[in-house]
Amino acid sequence: MSGAVLLEIRGLRARVGEKEILKGLDLTVREGEVHAIMGPNGSGKSTLAGVLAGRDAYEVTAGSVRYAGQDLLGLAPEARAAAGVFLGFQYPVEIPGVGNLYFLRTALNAIRKARGEEELDAMDFLAFAKEKMKLVELDPAFGSRSVNEGFSGGEKKRNEIFQMAVLEPKLAILDEIDSGLDIDALRVVAGGVNALRRSDRAIVMVTHYQRLLDHVTPDVVHVMAGGRIVKTGGRDLALELEKTGYAWAGDKAPMPLTEART
């Protein structure tokens, strides 16, 4: 059922300042697949997400990343977005005074323009966006509010999935999309992700907790530790991790794999 290789990472090394965080990472993702990358804090999960999206703070020192047949690392962040790479942020950023839908329409049209497609006018976009908002049960009022400003944690995450639904990426990297969510919000967010699974789209979910995987069933589960992928398996691997924790992967302080709930 898996399609062509979409993302191929070989021997990737990256650092922040003097500190090396990714230490020779390999990963292959095919179209239509959902991957979960799990691992203890500090194992390099979020760094991997940031490097793939082109965040300035990370310096790639070795290795290669091929995406849809091109060198991903050579592209500016906006060019990666135009090529279909989407990052769902762990901490979505607030932009005061900029309407949520206006922001998204500008982004979508920038991407469409970069691809040589026709831009959507305001009315067509509005109709399109309203459909997508339903996917994550986002109240239409969020369309005119400033981007993420005053949103609750759950609303921010839903907004990320809403943006993904509108931008229709080929590769979506969701960085801890489950963190800080109560069970109802998690169900909504996961429902949105499931609805966006497609045979020509790959989703890479970075998460600390197995609980997300109860709602979004991955095809492949990876365990990251010390800046590498140390184990790869199927859905069972996540369940196994839930019992054993990450201690075996070199984590000094094993953590429970179910998030404390308040």
Binding site for another protein (CB under 8 A): 53-57, 76-78, 80-82, 86-87, 89, 91-108, 110-111, 114, 122, 125-126, 143-144, 146, 163, 167
Nearer to another protein, 17 or 96 (CB): 96
Nearer to another protein, 110 or 195 (CB): 110
Nearer to another protein, 51 or 223 (CB): 51
Nearer to another protein, 171 or 237 (CB): 171
Min separation Cβ 139 and another protein, Å: 15
Min separation Cβ 31 and another protein, Å: 21
Nearer to another protein, 108 or 205 (CB): 108
Nearer to another protein, 140 or 234 (CB): 140
What residue spans of the chain are helical by DSSP H?
A: 45-53, 77-82, 100-114, 122-135, 153-167, 183-195, 211-215, 235-244
The Cα–Cα gap between 23 and 14 comes to 7
Specify the 3-state DSSP secondary structure of 179: coil
Min separation Cβ 204 and another protein, Å: 15
Min separation Cβ 187 and another protein, Å: 26
**C-alpha of 151 from chain center:** 19
To the nearest 10 degrees (0 to 180), the angle between helices 153-167 and 183-195 is 0
Residue 106 burial (C-beta neighbours within 10 Å; 0-12, 13-18, 19+): middle
Instruction: Give rounded-to-5 percent helix, strand, coil for the chain.
Output: 35, 30, 35
Min separation Cβ 101 and another protein, Å: 4
Min separation Cβ 104 and another protein, Å: 8
